[in-house]
Structure 1
Amino acid sequence: MQSPPSRGAVTPPTHICSALLTDPLPRPVGRVWRAVLSRLVAVVALVLTAALSGPAPSAQAAVGLTRITGFGANPGQLNMYVYRPASLPANPAVVFALHGCTQNAQGYADNSGLPELADRHKFLVVFAETTSSNNLNKCFNWFQTSDNRRGQGEAASIRQMAAHTVTAYDADTRRTYVTGLSAGGAMTSVMLAAYPDVFQAGAVVAGLPYGCANDVGSAYSCMNPGTDLTPAQWAERVRAAHPSWSGPWPRVAVWHGDRDTTVVSRNADELRDQWTALHSLSQNPSRTSVIGPNSTRHEEYLSGNGSVAVEVNRVPDIGHGTPVDPGSSAQQCGSTSAAYFLDSICSSYWITRFFGLEDSEPQPGTLPAPTGLATTGVTDTSVSLRWNPVDGATDYAVYRGGTRITTSDATSYTDTGLTAGSTHTYTVAARDADGRTGQLSGTVTARTTGATAACWTASNYAHVQAGRATASGGYTYAVGSRRNMGLYNTFITHTLKESPAGYYTVADGACP
Structure 2
Amino acid sequence: MAVLLLAALSVVAMSSPARAAATPQEVTGFGSNPGNLRMFRYVPPGLAGGRPVVVAMHGCTQNAAAYAANTGWMRLADTYKFSVVFPQQQTTNNMNACFNWFEAGDTRRGSGEALSVKQMVDRTKRDNGSTSAYVSGLSAGGGMTSAMLAAYPDVFSGGGIIAGLPYGCANSVASAFTCMSPGVNKSPKEWGDKVRAAFPSYSGRRPKVSIWQGTADSTVKTMNTTELMEQFTNANGTDQTPDTTDTVGGYPHRVYGGTVETYQITGMGHGQPVDPGTGPAQCGTPAPYILDMNICSAYHLVRFWGIDDSAPPTPTGTSTPTPSSTPPPYSDTVIGTATDHYVARRITAAEYTKLGAAHGYNTSVPLYQCTAGWTDKADCSPL
Residue 106 of structure 1, CA deviation: 0.3
Contact 1:279 1:309 in 2 (8 A): yes
Residue 223 of structure 1, CA deviation: 0.4
* Counterpart in the other structure of 1:296: 251
Residue 90 of structure 1, CA deviation: 2.1
Count of residue pairs the alignment pairs up: 353
SS of match in other structure, 1:323: strand
Residue correspondence of structure 1 range 388-467 to structure 2 within 5 A: 399-400=342-343, 403-404=344-345, 406-407=347-348, 416=356, 428-429=369-370, 441-442=377-378
The answer to whether the aligner puts 1:119 opposite 2:55 as a matched pair is: no
Q: Return the match for 2:69 from 110, 131, 135.
A: 110
- Counterpart Cα distance in 2 of 1:204 and 1:327: 23
Residue 363 of structure 1, CA deviation: 10
Residue 99 of structure 1, CA deviation: 0.5
* Counterpart in the other structure of 2:186: 229
* Counterpart in the other structure of 2:170: 213
Contact 1:427 1:442 in 2 (8 A): no
Residue correspondence of structure 1 range 141-290 to structure 2 within 5 A: 141-172=100-131, 175-290=132-247
- Counterpart Cα distance in 2 of 1:310 and 1:419: 25
* Counterpart in the other structure of 1:314: 264
* Counterpart in the other structure of 1:3: none
Query: Given the superposition, is the C-alpha separation of residues 231 and 217 from structure 1 closer, same or farther in structure 2, using an over 3 Å criterion?
Result: same
RMSD (CA atoms): 3.3
The answer to whether the aligner puts 1:89 opposite 2:48 as a matched pair is: yes
Residue 171 of structure 1, CA deviation: 1.1
- Counterpart Cα distance in 2 of 1:363 and 1:207: 26
The answer to whether the aligner puts 1:135 opposite 2:94 as a matched pair is: yes
**AA partner of residue 304 (structure 2):** F
Q: Flag the structure with higher strand content.
A: 1
Query: Given the superposition, is the C-alpha separation of residues 73 and 57 from structure 1 closer, same or farther in structure 2, using an over 3 Å criterion?
Result: closer
**AA partner of residue 219 (structure 1):** A
TM-score, normalisation: structure 1:
0.63
* Counterpart in the other structure of 1:340: 289
**AA partner of residue 265 (structure 1):** T
SS of match in other structure, 1:406: coil
- Counterpart Cα distance in 1 of 2:84 and 2:76: 10
- Counterpart Cα distance in 1 of 2:374 and 2:269: 42
Query: Higher Cα Rg: structure 1 or 2?
Result: 1
SS of match in other structure, 1:313: strand
Query: Given the superposition, is the C-alpha separation of residues 243 and 258 from structure 1 closer, same or farther in structure 2, using an over 3 Å criterion?
Result: same
- Counterpart Cα distance in 2 of 1:327 and 1:225: 35
The alignment-based identity, stated in percent, is: 43
- Counterpart Cα distance in 2 of 1:285 and 1:215: 33
Residue 58 of structure 1, CA deviation: 7.0
Residue 360 of structure 1, CA deviation: 3.1
**AA partner of residue 128 (structure 2):** Y
Residue 357 of structure 1, CA deviation: 1.2
Contact 2:233 2:240 in 1 (8 A): yes
**AA partner of residue 301 (structure 1):** Y
Residue 92 of structure 1, CA deviation: 1.2
Residues 178-234 of structure 1 show CA distances to partners (whole Å, capped at 9, x for unaligned) of 000000000000000000000011000000110101111111100000000000000
SS of match in other structure, 1:77: coil
Residue 441 of structure 1, CA deviation: 2.6
Query: Given the superposition, is the C-alpha separation of residues 18 and 141 from structure 1 closer, same or farther in structure 2, using an over 3 Å criterion?
Result: closer
Residue 322 of structure 1, CA deviation: 0.6
Residue 65 of structure 1, CA deviation: 1.3
**AA partner of residue 342 (structure 1):** L
Q: Which runs of 5+ in 2 are unaligned?
A: 315-325, 327-333, 362-366
**AA partner of residue 240 (structure 2):** Q
**AA partner of residue 24 (structure 1):** S
**AA partner of residue 330 (structure 1):** P
